[in-house]
Amino acid sequence: MEQAVSEVFRDAAPGIAANLPPILDTTATARGFHNICDDLVPGGADAYTIYRVLSQYSHASIRVVDGYLQATSTGPGVVLRTNPAEPDAATWTNVLASCLVWAGRSNDYIDGDKTRRSELRAATNALGINSELQLSPAAVLREASAKKAKKVAAKKTMPKKKQAPGSS
């Protein structure tokens, strides 16, 4: 802001800068989230795509603006809607149904009787999806390596036992 054209902004820059949060490298965060999606099976590009589609509606974007504007053939050319246009129902229904099945399968793990297992499997067949989200083989290997490294590090930091005099 110190280089702003407006003298008002230049004068206010030190006070504003003191109250701003630090600048974050969001590209690393986005890459990290993409990697988390890649760790899921099914997941990867599909999981990341679902996230990106859902994000279109949680941030100010062209998609949100388009939802509230309607083209007209008369007058100013566009009018403001009081309620946004509805998104593609088929896509959202599939995303919603898939997420509900995956949540239900997660609940199935804590339900000793597995009362909904057959219904959930039938739903996965109808939707053409896997019945549950699992870690990818690469994520499983990475997890195992991290556990092993943690054990090795813990052993290195443990104090060594002193031997009794005369023992070997």
Summarize pLDDT for 16-72 with one digit per residue, the tens: 666 655 655 666 666 778 888 888 887 777 777 777 777 777 777 777 888 888 888
Backbone region of residue 135 per phi and psi (left: phi > 0; alpha: psi in -120 to 50; beta: other values): beta
Structure tokens at 56: 């279109």
Strands 69-71 and 40-41: unpaired
| Amino acid letter, 144 | A
Residue 122 DSSP code: H
pTM of the model: 0.53
The whole-angstrom distance between residue 127's C-alpha and the CA centroid of its chain comes to 22
Residues paired with 134 in a beta bridge:
41
Q: Which residue ranges make up each domain of the chain?
A: 25-55, 57-86, 88-132
Q: Give the pLDDT confidence score for residue 168 in this predicted structure.
A: 57
CA 122-126-128 angle, 5° bins: 110
Sign for the CA dihedral angle at 159, 161, 165, 168 comes to negative
Per-residue confidence band for 5, with pLDDT thresholds at 50, 70 and 90? low
Task: Give residue 128's pLDDT band: very low, low, confident or very high (50, 70, 90).
Answer: confident
Helix or strand (DSSP H, E) at 133: none
Contact 135, 40 (CB under 8 A): yes
Condensed to tens digits (0 to 9), the pLDDT of residues 66-116 reads 888 888 888 888 888 888 887 777 777 888 888 899 889 888 888 888 888
